[in-house]
Amino acid sequence: MKVRGLMTRSAFALVAILWTILLAGQPALAARPTPVKEATVIGTGGAAASVDPIATSVAIDTLRRGGNAVDAAVAAAAALGVVEPFSCGLGGGGFMVIYSARDGRVFTLDGRETAPSAFRADSFIDPSTGLPISFAEGVTSGLGVGVPGTPRLWEQALARYGTIPLAAALAPSIGIARSGFEVDQTFHDQVASNQDRFKDFSSTRDLYLPGGGAPAVGSIFRNPDLARTYQTLAGHGMDAFYGGDVANAILTSVQHPPLVPGATRNVRPGLMTAGDLASYQAISRAPTDIHYRGYEIFSMGPPSSGGSTVGEALKILEGFDLGSLPRAQALYLMLEASKLAYADRNQYLADPDFVSVPLQGLLSDTYAAQRRALIGATALPVPVAPGDPSPFNSSTTHLTVSDRFGNVVSYTFTIEQIGGSGIVVPGHGFLLNNELTDFNFVTGTANSPAGGKRPRSSMSPTIVLKDGKPILALGSPGGASIITTVLQMLLERLDLGRTLPAAVATARISQRNSSTTQAEPAFFDTPERLALEAVGETFSSTPEIGAATGIELLSSGMVLAAAEPVRRGGGSAMVEVPQR
């Protein structure tokens, strides 16, 4: 059902046409200035939070012009494809969770990449050895590239829940890509960390290593190829991505990766065909929906494992009065619940169009009680075995947006590794994903590859309702640690009394049914570390976990937007009318 804002579709279409005319006549526009970056803002009207201030400002500009939260989310996502291209963009996929104020319901869109139809369970097995190829070879290859889903998701989101045409949503990003933006430390570092891969592909080298190295901090970066691609899509719709020149360029890049002459890297070609691109569809799916201490928590179902794994862990924890316990004890219970939920995730979660996922059992109170009974006074030895939910049975970057109409969007999207496959589509300015590496490389598991199958994901875009109204939306990138990041933030905010900004900023720990719990450096200086080690938990250090954003709708009618203060260089939060 269409969710309307204040500005009419025809008015936005006129704006889009004017933008296109302006941009076509001005090839040397001044670079877009970087807005002031703030991690926490309170005010009224709509709100947005992302990892980048330019993208967040695009969302707020869209809201101020009368667009709704879905319009703003798509516009900001397109901007992130320009300024945050190593984490997201046209060449990837994701999941969007939407609260529609008009319907009083939560909807989800699945824009996850799919395996080409020719993919088989043994496509990652090297025929010369009979063993799986190395993960690194899967990452930097055409073989690891899934059929992108982001363009169809944007199209479906606007058509079903937005108020503006695609051309209007893409217009700001066309300007940013053409005129350029100032390179920050994060952008520079992400290119530098991929330099060995990027230099082996002519198209990627020419775009991101024009002088032989990463663009300097403070320099102006432009991507005219991406601007032209966005203009093509603005004028002809997303069919122009899944067919025609753009599709042909994608297929050539996947089947014949653009290696620099003399490069020695073994880059395996992919199996994608024109039919795979032409047949891709973004899918409406039912969200996961659990009740937890008076809240109703919605997230993404399979093929994402995010909603189910966060949900199962919360159902296990609901049997403990976490708010009355010492912080160390509450964190201990969270780690133990995470072990149990991840064991079930790894066993049962996959694309529901290919396997039967026992989702109702995994999220049931009775199964949670059975799993909860395994938690004792000392840490469970890992790996924990999966349970059997069948007797109880009847599935990056993150952007969060709300609007003055009461709509809320929680959207996580990605190209997988930072830098994706490393392959820029020649002439079109965007990186291709390596999402098929999210499949298990071996045969015979729920998440083994198959033609047309969507690999299991951990993305967990989440919206929390109280008394039928949204009060909180949040999410994070971070691969498999997305789930633990979202789980910890929910516990910090709903159980342990922390504000949303504090829940975002606090030191994170991530237990995924593995021999050690990953912990950020700041956690090692806390008293909780010693208390947890005393009951058998062990920790290994990792520089950072996730890069969250969130929005809280306050009882006073105000809205609070929160982004990372430090992680990934700090994020950006804005509201339509800030409170001074």
- Compute CA distances 117 → 123, 148, 420, 435, 555, whole Å: 12, 14, 21, 15, 50
Residues 233-269 as b/e (b if ≥16 CB within 10 A, e otherwise) read bbeeebebbbeeebbebbbebbeebbeeeeeebebbe
Before 303, cis peptide (omega within 30)? yes
Before 53, cis peptide (omega within 30)? no
The candidate with the shortest Cα–Cα distance to 411, out of 160, 78, 181, 139, is 78
Using DSSP's 3-state secondary structure scheme, residue 174 falls into: helix
List, as one string, the DSSP characters of 330-378. Answer: HHHHHHHHHHHHHHHHHHH-S-TTTS---HHHHT-HHHHHHHHTT--SS
DSSP label of 260: P
User: HSE on the CB side for 44, CA within 13 Å?
Assistant: 4
User: HSE on the CB side for 301, CA within 13 Å?
Assistant: 21
Q: Which amino acid is at 83?
A: V
**Quick one: which H or E segment has residue 543?**
none
Tokens for 391, please give them. Answer: 């007797």
Selected catalytic residue, list 186, 309, 396, 397? 396
Q: What's the CA gap between 108 and 42, in Å, rounded?
A: 27
**Quick one: which H or E segment has residue 1?**
none
- Compute CA distances 104 → 107, 284, 373, 454, whole Å: 10, 17, 36, 29
- Asked whether the beta carbons of 521 and 497 are under 8 A apart, the reply is no
**Quick one: which H or E segment has residue 7?**
none
Residue 560 phi/psi, 5-degree rounding, is -115, 125
Q: What's the CA gap between 266 and 263, in Å, rounded?
A: 9
- Asked if 114 is an active-site residue, the reply is no
Q: What's the CA gap between 93 and 154, in Å, rounded?
A: 10
Q: Give catalytic residues, as residue numbers.
A: 396
